[in-house]
Structures are given as C-alpha cells and as structure tokens.
Chain A
C-alpha cells in the first residue's frame, strides 16, 4: 500500500507541475522515477521513452501507465494515470463550467474573443514547430510533397485525415523495408569484398 501511495505522489507531482503539455513533462518523469524513487535506471528509462514514441497518442499517459504497471501492477498503472491527469481535468471542468454559467454576460463573451488571438499565436507556433521539425528530419522535398498531397486530400477532396495518415503509415512500413534489404545486401557485398581482399 505504501508503494501505491508513492506511485500516486510521484505522478500527482508530475501532473501538477508539468506545464506546457506532455513532451515537456519528460524531465519531471525522469526526476521522480530515476532520481527520487529509483524505480528505473537511466537506460531503462530512455528505453521506455523510445518504446512510448513508437506508439501514437499522448506520451505522458503512456509513460505514467507503463511505469505504474512496472512498479505496482495493474492497480499501479491505473493509480499512476489517475494521479497524473485527473487533478487538472477537474480544474479545467471547474473553470469552464464557471465561465459558461455567465455565458450571457457580454464580458464573458468578450473574454472568449480576447483569448482567441492568443490561441492563434500558440497554434501558429505549433504549426511552425511541426513544419520545422519535419524539414530537418524528412527534408524539404519530402515535407513539401506530403504537405501538398495532404492539402489537396483535405481541402480539395474533403477526405478524413485518418485515410491520409493510415496510407502514409503503410507506405512508411513498406518503403523502408526495401531500403533495409538493400542496406543488408550492400553490407554483405562489402564484407564479401573485404574477405576477397584479405
């Protein structure tokens, strides 16, 4: 029971102090899980992070749930996820319910309008971050190609984004397979060469 309490305390703190969305919470996970409670070693922690990144969905809840599971079984997983996300969900519901209770007041409508441009800036920043990260990792040509196809499919054809994303995931799996094969062939032929030279 003491262990469950530790799990709760650790992930509660991470959830309460983790401003800026899931990915920016990773250092907090590290501080609690590796440094404070030593549930995991450095290597295991970075492996967990890498594994979490192979799957879709928010990274914070995957980390919390998996580490909770490792430390305290199924109950630990549920405990960790709840401690991590529920406090701020309740705060969020409370704030927005309060706001909508005064919906008819003109100043509340004004508040919504005043915050909209701030959201525009935040979304524009995220858009830029995603394009920039894509440009550096996939290259400018690949990014432009996928971006143009997406724009046509979404705005021109009115397709659901799931069609585009699932198609790309399949292409990613098939295409890189070929490259890996050729890589293996290349290394084999070069090792053959090496043995001939010997």
Chain B
C-alpha cells in the first residue's frame, strides 16, 4: 500500500512540477504516468475522467488527481494525489515570493513557458490521435466522424456549454452505442 501511495505521489508530482502553461498543459503529462506507465486506467477510462472533469467547474488538474487517486487507493489516495498536485508549486510560491517577484518580468522566466509550450502541443497532438484511434476501433468510422463533427459545431460554432455537449455525447452513446 505504501508503495502505491508513493507511486501516486510521483505520478502527480512530476506532471505538475514540469507542466508549464497552466492546468490543461498537464493533461498529456498525467496520461503518460497514469495510462502508459502505471496502467491504473485504460485510455477509455482516462477519456471519461477527462470528459466529466470538463463538465464540472474548478481546475481540471485537481479534479483528475482527486478522482484517479480515489480510484487507485481510496480517500487517502485522493488526498495524496491532490496534495502532490497543489502543494509543491504553492509552497514554492509562498517561500520564494521575494525572489520570484524580482524575476517575474524576466525574459528568462518567460522563455521557460515559451520553450515548453511546443512540447506540450506535441504531446496533446499524440494524445488526441490515440483517443481518435480508440474511438474509431470501438465505435466505427461513421459514429466517430458524426459525433466529432457535431461536437465541433456545437462547441466551436454555437459555443454551447461544454457540460451540455458532454451530456449529449453521453446520451447519444447510451442510446445508439450500447
């Protein structure tokens, strides 16, 4: 059990300490740990976590940590995963405030985010491709393409609330893909 707790801590500590660029940047980094490395979830379960996470308020990183931690090791697991997500960068911020204040406008610090962004973009592209492949294999080309086009139009053109689009996807799947 202790080993699981330690693994949970690492699985969420590493993405959050290298994930420059805000909450969404850590999604592909968490997928690497949780799906590819420790295999606590398969890609389908990970995408369900992501979907429901996107339909609820507050940051995506803490919701994913809380839920995956809970799935792996109950309430203690949830607390450890959330702690690993929140505490390191928050403690750094409180302890190093004076130093960080001096460098907040520094070109150096800004170029850190700048350099990491393309890496995250590539990782997100890979994850998107894997999800797409899963959908194609499990639901077929017709359902996948239809749902993707509808989801795109609703999210990007009509600007419908993501929670409603996700509920529609769930309802469609429950009726036609069950």
Interface residues of A, Cβ cutoff 8 Å to B: 15-23, 25, 47, 50-62, 65-66, 69, 77, 81, 84-85, 87-93, 95-96, 99, 105-127, 130-131, 133-134, 137-138, 142-143, 146-147, 150-151, 154-155, 160-162, 164-166, 168-169, 171-173, 175-177, 179-180
Contact = CB atoms under 8 A, between A and B. Distances in A.
Interface residue tally on B, bucketed by range: 35 or more
A118 B135 CA distance: 10
- 6 interchain residue pairs of minimum CB distance: A114-B173, A110-B178, A89-B66, A57-B89, A117-B147, A107-B178
Given A85-B58, A88-B57, A162-B14, A114 B147 contact: yes
A151 B118 CA distance: 10
B52 interface: yes
Contacts of A59: 22-23, 59
23 contacts: A19-B56, A22-B59, A22-B61, A56-B18, A58-B26, A85-B62, A95-B56, A96-B48, A107-B178, A118-B155, A118-B168, A121-B148, A122-B50, A122-B162, A126-B24, A130-B117, A138-B114, A147-B118, A154-B123, A160-B32, A161-B119, A169-B20, A180-B107
Given A127-B121, A179-B107, A180-B108, A116 B82 contact: no
B128 A124 contact: yes
A55 B109 CA distance: 9
A118 to B, nearest CB: 4
B173 A112 contact: yes
Interface string B129-165: 0011011001100011001100110011000011101
Interface in B65-113: 66-67, 70-71, 78, 82, 85-86, 88-90, 92-94, 97, 100-101, 103-105, 107-109, 111-113
Interface of B: 14, 16-29, 32, 44-45, 47-54, 56-63, 66-67, 70-71, 78, 82, 85-86, 88-90, 92-94, 97, 100-101, 103-105, 107-109, 111-128, 131-132, 134-135, 138-139, 143-144, 147-148, 151-152, 155-156, 161-163, 165-166, 168-178
Given A93-B67, A115-B169, A169 B59 contact: no
A115 B166 contact: yes
Contact of A112 (B28, B48, B115): B48
A58 B89 CA distance: 8
Contact of B85 (A19, A57, A107): A57
Given A23-B23, A95-B52, A137-B114, A127 B88 contact: no
Contacts of B63: 85, 88-89, 92
Contacts of B166: 115, 118
Given A66-B90, A107-B175, A110-B173, 15 more contacts: A23-B23, A51-B97, A51-B104, A55-B89, A57-B19, A65-B86, A96-B67, A111-B177, A113-B138, A120-B132, A138-B114, A138-B118, A165-B119, A168-B116, A173-B112
Contacts of A109: 177-178
Interface centre among A21, A23, A150 (most CB of B within 10 A): A21
B59 A116 contact: no
A147 B100 contact: no
